[in-house]
Structures are given as structure tokens and as C-alpha cells.
């Protein structure tokens, strides 16, 4: 078998294999590049409390206007969202060792909670407001004197 004969017989098969590989590679590149852009996005309209593990008694807040990317819905009735953060500098941290039971990825989500009246009462018990703080809050929320009078009348004696 001469070199020309070999090239004529193997050439089309080689070209077909290269074409299939190129198409597969292009599919992987474009499919991977679109990840994260096809997720439903929402923008929060109010701050949300971030509940942290280990009984931390501090309050942390996710600010209003944060974009959340829907990740997964669970049959138990809750959803998981992803938040992207930028950071400059070095983060004080400890490594999380990958264990076989993690199955190659470790997701340890925090919980978000809406701020309701009961939660606010608990926060204010721990962090009481001064007259100056209350006045600033009232002015910032554009509450009128009539609104304030209604609030005071609704308070128990």
C-alpha cells in the first residue's frame, strides 16, 4: 500500500473524526459559557436577615437591591439562591477538606429570613434605640406627625 493510497483511505475518516471532535468541543465551550446566565435572577426589594450557624447572636443583613440567582427548589418548600461577591485583598479563612461523602462538592448554605415585626422587636431588645435614633428613623421613612400620633395611640398603656 503506497502513501497516497493510505492517505485516500484514512484521510476521510480522520477528517470526520476531527470534525466530530471540533463540534463536541464547540458545544462544551458554548454550553459552559452560558452557565449562570440562564438562571432566574431576582433583585431584593427589602433587606433580609442572614441567619448564621453555630448560634451566633449577631445580626447580619443582605442589603436591599441584592441580585440573587435561583439555584434550586427543594420539595420541603424552600429555594436556594446564589449571590456573587467581589473582594479585594486576602480573606482570613480555613480550608474545607473535601470528604468522600461530599460527592465532589460541598454546599453549606446560610438561611435568609424576612424582617417581620417580631424579629424587629427582638433586635430592638438587644440593641435599644435612643431618641435621636428614633427621630432619624422617622425622618428617613417620611412618617408624618399624624402617622406618629396613630402609632402612639395604638400602643398599650
pLDDT digits (tens, 9 = 90+) for 79-98: 999 999 999 999 999 988 88
pLDDT band at 43 (very low <50, low <70, confident <90, very high): very high
- Report the predicted TM-score, pTM, of the whole model to 2 decimal places: 0.57
- Percent of the chain scored above 70 by pLDDT? 76
Shared-domain flag, residues 83 and 121? yes
**Are the CB atoms for 80 and 68 separated by under 8 Å?**
no
Which residues have C-beta within 8 Å of that of residue 111, sequence separation ≥ 6?
50, 51
Shared-domain flag, residues 60 and 87? yes
Q: b or e along 87-115 (b: 16 or more beta carbons within 10 Å of the residue's beta carbon)?
A: eeeeeeeeeeeeeeeeeeeeeeeeebeee
Which of the residue ranges 11-15, 36-40, 95-99, 118-122 would you say has the lowest mean pLDDT? Answer: 11-15
Cell of 18: 476531527
Shared-domain flag, residues 27 and 101? no
Considering 44-53, 70-79, 129-138, the range whose residues carry the highest mean pLDDT is 70-79
Count other C-beta atoms under 10 Å from residue 80's C-beta. Answer: 13
Separation of CA 61 from chain center: 13
Host domain of residue 93: 41-128
Shared-domain flag, residues 30 and 102? no
* CA separation, residue 145 to residues 79, 99, 137, 139, 152 (Å): 41, 60, 13, 10, 10
Shared-domain flag, residues 47 and 124? yes
Q: What is the pLDDT of residues 123-157, one digit of tens each?
A: 778 777 788 888 888 888 788 889 888 888 888 87
Count other C-beta atoms under 10 Å from residue 68's C-beta. Answer: 20
Write down the pLDDT at residue 2. Answer: 58
List, in sequence order, every residue forming a beta bridge with 41; answer none if it has no partner: 69
Write down the pLDDT at residue 85. Answer: 92
Amino acid at each position: 500500500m503506497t502513501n497516497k493510497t493510505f492517505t485516500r483511505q484514512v484521510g476521510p475518516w480522520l477528517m470526520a473524526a476531527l470534525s466530530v471532535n471540533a463540534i463536541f468541543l464547540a458545544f462544551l465551550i458554548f454550553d459552559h459559557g452560558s452557565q449562570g446566565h440562564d438562571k432566574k435572577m431576582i433583585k431584593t426589594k427589602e433587606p433580609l436577615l442572614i441567619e448564621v450557624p453555630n448560634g451566633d447572636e449577631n445580626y447580619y443583613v443582605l442589603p436591599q437591591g441584592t441580585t440573587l440567582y435561583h439555584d434550586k427548589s427543594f420539595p420541603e418548600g424552600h429555594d436556594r439562591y446564589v449571590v456573587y461577591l467581589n473582594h479585594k485583598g486576602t480573606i482570613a479563612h480555613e480550608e474545607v477538606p473535601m470528604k468522600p461523602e461530599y460527592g465532589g462538592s460541598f454546599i453549606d448554605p446560610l438561611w435568609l429570613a424576612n424582617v417581620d415585626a417580631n424579629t424587629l422587636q427582638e433586635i430592638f431588645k438587644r440593641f435599644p434605640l435612643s431618641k435621636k435614633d428614633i427621630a432619624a428613623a422617622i425622618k428617613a421613612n417620611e412618617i408624618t406627625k399624624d402617622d406618629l400620633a396613630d402609632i402612639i395611640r395604638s400602643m398599650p398603656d
